[in-house]
Amino acid sequence: MRFVDIIEKKRWGGELTQEEIQWWITQYVSGNIPDYQVSALLMAITLKGMSVRETQLLTMAMLHSGEVMDLSGIDGITVDKHSTGGVGDKTTLVLGPMLAACGVKVAKMSGRGLGATGGTLDKLESIRGFDCYLEKDKFMKQVKDIGIAIVGQTKDLVPADKKLYALRDVTGTVISVPLIASSVMSKKLAAGAQIIELDVKCGDGAFMKTPEDAEILADMMIRLGKACGKKVSAMITDMNEPLGMAIGNMLEVKEAVETLRGRGPKDLTELVLTGGASILVNADIALDMDDGRRKMSEVIADGTAFEKFKAMVKAQNGDVAQIENLDMFPEASFITPVKSEKTGFVCAERAWELGRLAMEIGAGRADKEDVIEPEVGIVLEKKTGDFVEKGDVLAWVHHNRPLENGWKERMYAAFDIKDERVSGKQLIYKIM
């Protein structure tokens, strides 16, 4: 079998066989196919698509490219949650501890940032000493004892996805339903949790631009999960503006901590309450969504969710003192305001552009080898629908180097300010 034949077959829109897909994944993981050839196939898939059958075959080939976790030794209901990515999306850092405080076992394997979107591992590593890579036995013990562990996938868990994930990021092939679905679900299935919840973002700052496209992706992932005997649900949520106020790894950790203390932004708080309620219903811990929201609200109010977060940080060698006193986090060299040049209402905040701007000053990676500056980023002062006077601060930029010419102008252009207030925003479009 020649890999170039597989590339050409997909280039013309042909359907790959199980043998071809399995051979591709096996040979690539073994190092027998170079990145440049796989990049060509990824682009062909992005342009020509894959059938449901091809996507299922790719998912299973990736799933079995390495170890599959067995969580049956953990008492209780094990859950996993995944977001398809967005700007300012620090949901896992809040939702995970809340769920653990409600009695479910959160066995979460997360990834790094893709393009303008942030990665959970990058955020956690902004906590001094935090270890994202645990041996299997330690991971299992921590989930048993504390109720939550958030780690990166090891070299033995879905190695095919680890290689493809990094390659897609730098070859313009992130936005592909079959590639996203197979990437997400191979990891979720390999991680072994009984219940999987998917937060599928749509809008300007997401890979899926419309609720309809997000629903197609969600449906594909639900079908993949259910075919393997998992309970899978999905929320279609908005990403036309950043989630919360903070964009940037350390800044988002601080915002997550404030949310766990009951002082978080409204949109982030609403998202974790609804997402958590859905999981508790699926886990038979809550009678219905209202009961689930009540339980989730209680663990914020009584502090048990925050204690779970601190316990996880301590168990993974992170500096708990930073979590208890946010002033201990280092600050960027400069904090520069971006001010409104006119009076009116904020009608839009272009999430993707804001994410790109944050990436350009060091909050994310343009290339695989880029080093993230954890303290760098953007903190919004205004959100869509807010009224601003000329001269009001729209956002604060945290940066370590002087801003390049034109950067602030692009930053200001990401805000659409008009005379009339925008109609009501919708955060959650659908629960599936």
Residues designated as active site:
82, 161, 168, 183, 187
Give the CA count within 13 Å in the CB-facing half-sphere of 417: 21
Cβ count near 266 (within 10 Å): 10
Q: Give the tokens for residue 264.
A: 């978080």
Give the CA count within 13 Å in the CB-facing half-sphere of 99: 37
Residue whose structure tokens are 């964009």: 247
Measured between its terminal Cα atoms, the distance across the chain in Å is 41
210 within 8 A of 124, measured Cβ to Cβ: no
Q: Give the tokens for residue 67.
A: 């170890």
Cβ count near 275 (within 10 Å): 27
Cβ count near 325 (within 10 Å): 9
What phi-psi label fits residue 222: left (phi over 0), alpha (psi between -120 and 50 degrees) or beta? alpha
